[in-house]
A and B are shown apart, each in its own frame.
Chain A
């Protein structure tokens, strides 16, 4: 009995740590996604993650590395091809869904590897081991570290490209750093929420944070809090009602957004 108790305890810790690690970084990063109006870009990068999974399984690389490399490769293609022949919107649509489809097809070609695709599409947090938790936190700290290190230039370049240039900054560099942070987070989060739902965990808490903050910093902190709370509530709900964990976290985030909107509506003086 005691043995079982400890094991249960350990299992819970793993799950909670993995979920909060992803959420903590997703909140502030999601603010930048919203500010830069790159929601669709975020979607594309996370869809590319599935291709990364296939790549990792085929090459024997760790999933984190495979996803990271693949996400960066897709991002590079988009950033280089941007504004050439097709509209960015078209380009993103093509890459997002092609990467997803290619990933699904590629996984089917992997002989002898039995892959539970659903676990990469919507996440399978209950299966995380300590190594996964370490990967998640390394990714989350790396992502947050990038954001904090480049905070001011990232903000200025998200605000106005030309203003950033006049300040002597290089918006292209900031956009690469933002993309890198995004790719790291996607790679860290794929086991937790899955390729299809990462964007939701970026956008929904950021929208919640917007309701509570009058400066970018307050919004980012609120978004981080909202994301962590959503992760905890989602986990709880998932255990309670035996629902898939990734989607439960997203539903919890949505629930918090609706709640915050109602509260903001009541308390904001008109």
Chain B
């Protein structure tokens, strides 16, 4: 196995006297899709911030592959009207690229007409897609998404994650996402890490969803979460335990 793209060892973070993360050992290999799930306040976002370098861990180490190209899709972008920024200019900020590369990227993420639009005028779904294009235009080896589908409605969320899977197939980058949209995210992942201050359990989506640690965190109510996603494909609506009249 080659060296991981990014790796943490015994990572700990204390913030305002509260221990947010402790003893987190983590690694992601090239081409892998890893999802971090965890309840609110479990330190998911803090962990991601440590990985991208926004927050310095108070304990342990982070090792990045030298020269690692990372693309980052934030939860949201705080862009207000005072900042004139066309979509095309926004993509040019990310990395050197040609006009046709940018057009192709916008087409790939499904907003081919957006080039001249103002960032502040985009809808939630369009903005998420443009942020994804922005993260991808620099040809990252690792794409990091922080609850990137937050604020999208259910069909849009499913569409967004299908898009990410599709992108991975074509661009061969590793993907690390943080999410609480368990039922949509998990089936796309090679590995799921259940985080609650520390790594509770990890493994394939099936293993994690059946792990007692996971069930204790999320309750048995979400036991069917994985199945819920699967039945999106076979349209077996009875599985969720009720019928749509």
Contacts and interface: CB of A to CB of B under 8 A. Distances in A.
Interface stretch (B32-40, B85-93, B147-155, B217-225): B85-93
Interface in A216-231: 216-219
B84 interface: yes
Contact of B93 (A35, A156, A210, A214): A156
B84 A155 contact: no
Contact of A216 (B53, B54, B84): B84
B85 A215 contact: yes
B178 to A, nearest CB: 13
B171 interface: no
B93 A162 contact: no
A150 interface: no
A219 B89 CA distance: 13
Contacts of A219: 84
B72 A163 contact: yes
A7 interface: no
B142 to A, nearest CB: 10
A223 to B, nearest CB: 11
Given A167-B94, A215-B84, A162 B89 contact: no
Contacts of B74: 160, 162-163
B230 interface: no
Contacts of A214: 84, 86, 116, 118
B238 to A, nearest CB: 43
A34 B77 CA distance: 17
Contacts of A163: 72, 74, 77
A264 interface: no
B144 interface: yes
A210 B84 contact: yes
A134 B85 CA distance: 35
Contacts of B85: 159, 215-216
B3 to A, nearest CB: 19
Contact of A165 (B52, B94, B118): B52
A160 B94 contact: no
Given A160-B74, A166-B52, A215 B82 contact: no
Given A214-B118, A215-B89, A165 B84 contact: no
Nearest to A218: B84
A166 B72 contact: yes
A159 B94 contact: no
B57 to A, nearest CB: 14
Interface in A55-73: none
Nearest to B79: A159
B89 A216 contact: yes
Contacts of B83: 35, 158-159, 216
A156 B78 CA distance: 12
Interface string A246-263: 000000000000000000
A152 B85 CA distance: 13
Given A152-B93, A215-B89, A162 B52 contact: yes
A214 B86 CA distance: 6
B70 interface: yes
A215 B74 CA distance: 22
Nearest to B138: A167
Contact of B54 (A35, A152, A161, A210): A161
Contacts of B77: 159-160, 163
A161 B116 CA distance: 24
Contacts of A161: 54
A108 B184 CA distance: 70
B12 interface: no
Given A37-B82, A166-B70, A216-B83, 7 more contacts: A155-B93, A159-B83, A161-B54, A163-B74, A165-B52, A210-B84, A216-B84
